[in-house]
C-alpha cells in the first residue's frame, strides 16, 4: 500500500465562531454594558467609605472578575468580528479589550481592522507582542502590515522567513498602493502539465491545507511560465488517468502586478471570478488575486469616495477633538469661502430683491436644483472613472449626453417650479425667468459634474476629493447670478 492510499484519522479543525450582523451587535452591546458596569462600580468603590487598605484589593479583584467575563465573550469570536468590535469602541475601551484578545489571533485582527485602528493597536504593543503577532503571517499579509510596523520589527521578521518568502515580501512591499501587486497573495496550487489527474489528487491530499478560495489549479512549465488553468470541478469529475494537458484551459484571464486594482475589481465583477493568476512581463506565474481581496478593495474604495466627496480623510470615529478638527477644517474653510462668494454675488442684486422680495425665496430653489443635478452627474462620472469606463478622451461625448439628459429632465422640473413661482408671486414674468434660470443652472451643474472630476484626475488628484464642494459653490454662485441677473433685466426694465 502506498503512502497516499492508507486511511488517516482526521481531527476536525476548530474554527472561530462567525456571527451575523445582529449577533455581532448584541455581543458589542454586551461588551459595552460590561465595560460601563465595571467603570460605574470602580467609581463607586473610589468614592465609598471604607478601609483605605482594602480598596486596592477590591479594585484588583473587581477588574480580574470583569476581565475574565470579557475574555469569555471574546474567546469564541472570529477575528473579523473582534475587529468590528474594536473599531466600534473609544480609544481607552478599545485598548482594554485588545489586551484580553487571544494573542494567537493578533495578526489576523490587525489585518482585518481599518488603518486608523491598526495604528492605535500597534502603538500599544511592545516589540515582543508585535513579533509574536506577525511570525505566523504570510509574505503578502506581512506586506500589508509593514507600513504600520516599526522598521526594527519588519527587519527581525524577515530573518525568520525562507529565502523565497523574503523575496516575496520584498516584492510585495515594492508594489505601489492601489496596484494588483499590492493586493495579490502568493499561496496557490501549481502543477506541471505532463502529469495525470491522479498524481494531482495525490499531491493535494499531502497538503496540510488548501489555500483559501482555491477554485482552480495553475499549470506551469519548468521555468514557471503559466501554461493554463485546471478547475477543481474538471479535476474531480474526469478520469484520474487523464493527462492534465488534455483538460487544462489555455484561454484564461490574467493580471499583471503593475495594473491598477480597479482592473481586477472590474474583471471579477464582469466575469464572476473567484481567483485570477498574476504574471510578470515574461508570463511567469508570481501570484494570484482572490475574491476576498477584491471585495476588501471595493469596500475601501467606496468608503474613501464617500468621505472624499465631503472633503474628509479617513478618521477614527472616536478620534480626539484636536485630530478631528485638523482633518475637517481645511475643506470647511474652503466651503466658507465659497459660500461667502455666493452670498456676495447675491448682495450685488440687493436693489432687485428689495423691489421684488419673493425673489429671495425663489433663488434658493434655482441654486439647490442646479446643485442636485450636478451631484447626480458627478456621482455617475466618478463611478465610471473608477471602473475605467470613461477617460479624458470621452469628455466631449459625456458632456453632450449630460446636456441632453439635463435639458429633458430640466424642462419637466422647471415647468413645475415656474407654476409654483406663478402661484406665490402672481407674475408670469417671474415664472418665465424661473424656467430659464433653472435650466441654465442645471446645465452648468451637469457640465461641471463631468469636467471637475476629469480635470482633477488629469492632474493626478483624487476625482472624488472636494468635488462636491466645488460643484456646490459653482451652482450656488452662478445660480444666484443667473436668476437675479435675469430678474433685473426683464422684471425691472
Q: What is the 3-state secondary structure (H, E, C) of 266-298?
A: HHHHHHCCCEEEEECCCCEEEEEEEHHHHHHHH
Task: Select from 96, 104, 166, 148 the least CA-distant residue to 129.
Answer: 104
CA 490 to CA 493: how far, in whole Å? Answer: 6
- The reported pLDDT for the residue numbered 57 is 47
Grid cell locating 481? 447670478
Grid cell locating 32? 459595552
- The reported pLDDT for the residue numbered 58 is 58
CA angle 334, 337, 340 (to 5 degrees): 150
Rounded CA Rg of the chain: 31
Residue stretches of the chain with pLDDT short of 50: 1-13, 49, 51-54, 57
Task: Select from 142, 86, 73 the least CA-distant residue to 114.
Answer: 86
- The reported pLDDT for the residue numbered 313 is 60
Task: Select from 280, 158, 154, 288 the least CA-distant residue to 211.
Answer: 288
- The reported pLDDT for the residue numbered 264 is 94
Give per-residue pLDDT as tens, 207-219. 988 999 999 999 9
Residues 109/86, Cβ–Cβ less than 8 Å: yes
Give per-residue pLDDT as tens, 49-77. 454 444 554 567 777 888 888 888 888 88
The answer for residues whose C-beta is within 8 angstroms of residue 38's C-beta and 6 or more apart is 62, 63, 66
Residues 254/278, Cβ–Cβ less than 8 Å: yes
CA 174 to CA 468: how far, in whole Å? Answer: 34
CA 265 to CA 252: how far, in whole Å? Answer: 16
How does DSSP assign 2-48, residue by residue? -TTTS--PPPPP-PPBP--HHHHHHHHHHHHHHHHHHHHHHHHHHHS
- The reported pLDDT for the residue numbered 101 is 92
- The reported pLDDT for the residue numbered 336 is 82
- The reported pLDDT for the residue numbered 6 is 34
- The reported pLDDT for the residue numbered 2 is 34
CA angle 69, 316, 262 (to 5 degrees): 115
- The reported pLDDT for the residue numbered 440 is 94
How does DSSP assign 126-173, residue by residue? -HHHHHHHHTTS-HHHHHHHGGGS-HHHHHHHHHTS-HHHHHHHHHHH
Long-range contacts of 131-138 (CB under 8 A, 24+ apart): 131/156, 131/157, 132/103, 132/106, 133/103, 133/106, 133/107, 134/107, 135/107, 135/160, 136/104, 136/107, 137/107, 137/111, 138/165, 138/185, 138/186, 138/187
For each of the domains in the chain, give its residue range(s) and CATH number, in order of start: 21-178 (1.25.60.10), 190-309 (3.10.580.10), 321-491 (1.10.357.20)
Beta partners for 275?
A: 290
- The reported pLDDT for the residue numbered 42 is 65
Task: Select from 474, 413, 481, 482 the least CA-distant residue to 445.
Answer: 474
Task: Select from 491, 366, 363, 346 the least CA-distant residue to 439.
Answer: 366
CA 354 to CA 491: how far, in whole Å? Answer: 13
- Stated as kind and residue range, the H or E segment containing 230 is strand 226-231
CA 426 to CA 35: how far, in whole Å? Answer: 63
Measure Cα distances from 250 to 159, 230, 253, 273, 395 in Å: 39, 9, 10, 16, 38
CA 308 to CA 320: how far, in whole Å? Answer: 20
pTM for the predicted model, two decimal places: 0.71
Backbone angles phi, psi at 401, to 5 degrees: -60, -50
Task: Select from 167, 337, 425 the least CA-distant residue to 433.
Answer: 425
Amino acid at each position: 500500500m502506498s503512502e497516499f492510499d492508507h486511511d488517516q484519522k482526521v481531527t476536525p479543525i476548530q474554527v472561530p465562531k462567525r456571527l451575523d450582523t445582529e449577533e455581532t451587535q448584541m455581543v458589542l452591546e454586551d461588551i459595552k454594558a460590561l465595560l460601563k458596569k465595571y467603570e460605574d462600580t470602580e467609581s463607586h468603590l473610589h468614592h465609598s467609605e471604607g478601609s483605605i487598605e482594602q480598596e486596592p484589593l477590591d479594585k484588583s479583584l473587581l477588574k480580574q472578575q470583569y476581565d475574565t467575563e470579557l475574555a469569555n465573550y471574546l474567546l469564541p469570536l472570529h477575528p473579523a468580528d473582534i475587529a468590528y468590535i474594536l473599531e466600534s469602541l473609544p480609544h481607552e475601551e478599545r485598548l482594554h479589550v485588545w489586551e484580553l484578545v487571544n494573542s494567537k489571533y493578533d495578526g489576523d485582527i490587525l489585518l482585518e481592522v481599518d488603518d486608523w485602528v491598526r495604528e492605535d493597536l500597534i502603538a500599544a504593543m511592545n516589540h515582543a507582542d508585535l513579533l509574536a503577532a506577525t511570525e505566523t503571517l504570510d509574505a503578502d499579509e506581512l506586506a500589508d502590515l509593514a507600513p504600520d510596523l516599526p522598521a526594527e520589527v519588519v527587519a527581525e521578521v524577515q530573518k525568520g522567513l525562507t529565502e523565497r518568502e523574503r523575496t516575496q515580501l520584498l516584492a510585495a512591499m515594492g508594489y505601489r498602493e492601489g496596484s494588483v501587486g499590492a493586493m495579490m497573495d502568493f499561496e496557490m496550487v501549481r502543477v506541471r502539465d505532463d502529469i495525470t489527474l491522479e498524481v494531482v489528487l495525490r499531491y493535494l491530499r499531502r497538503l496540510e491545507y488548501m489555500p483559501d478560495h482555491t477554485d482552480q489549479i495553475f499549470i506551469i512549465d519548468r521555468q514557471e511560465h503559466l501554461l493554463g488553468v485546471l478547475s477543481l470541478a474538471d479535476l474531480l469529475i474526469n478520469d484520474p488517468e487523464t493527462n492534465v494537458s488534455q483538460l487544462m484551459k489555455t484561454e484564461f484571464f490574467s493580471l499583471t502586478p503593475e495594473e491598477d486594482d480597479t482592473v481586477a475589481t472590474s474583471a471579477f465583477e464582469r466575469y464572476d471570478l473567484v481567483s485570477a493568476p498574476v504574471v510578470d512581463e515574461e508570463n511567469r506565474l508570481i501570484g494570484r488575486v482572490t475574491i476576498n481581496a477584491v471585495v476588501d478593495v471595493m469596500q475601501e474604495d467606496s468608503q474613501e469616495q464617500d468621505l472624499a466627496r465631503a472633503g474628509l480623510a479617513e478618521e477614527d470615529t472616536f478620534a480626539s477633538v484636536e485630530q478631528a478638527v485638523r482633518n475637517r477644517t481645511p475643506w470647511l474653510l474652503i466651503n466658507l469661502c465659497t459660500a461667502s462668494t455666493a452670498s456676495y454675488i447675491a448682495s450685488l442684486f440687493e436693489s432687485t430683491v428689495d423691489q421684488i422680495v419673493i425673489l429671495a425665496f425663489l433663488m434658493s430653489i434655482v441654486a439647490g436644483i442646479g446643485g442636485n443635478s450636478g451631484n447626480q452627474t458627478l456621482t455617475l462620472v466618478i463611478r465610471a472613472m473608477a471602473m475605467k469606463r470613461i477617460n479624458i478622451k470621452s469628455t466631449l461625448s459625456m458632456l453632450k449626453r449630460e446636456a441632453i439628459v439635463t435639458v429633458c429632465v430640466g424642462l419637466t422640473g422647471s415647468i413645475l417650479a415656474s407654476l409654483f413661482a406663478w402661484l406665490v408671486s402672481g407674475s408670469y414674468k417671474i415664472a418665465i425667468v424661473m424656467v430659464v434660470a433653472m435650466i441654465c443652472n442645471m446645465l452648468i451643474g451637469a457640465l461641471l459634474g463631468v469636467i471637475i472630476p476629469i480635470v482633477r484626475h488629469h492632474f493626478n488628484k483624487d476625482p472624488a476629493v472636494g468635488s462636491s464642494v466645488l460643484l456646490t459653490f459653482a451652482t450656488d454662485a452662478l445660480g444666484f447670478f443667473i436668476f437675479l441677473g435675469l430678474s433685473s433685466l426683464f422684471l425691472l426694465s
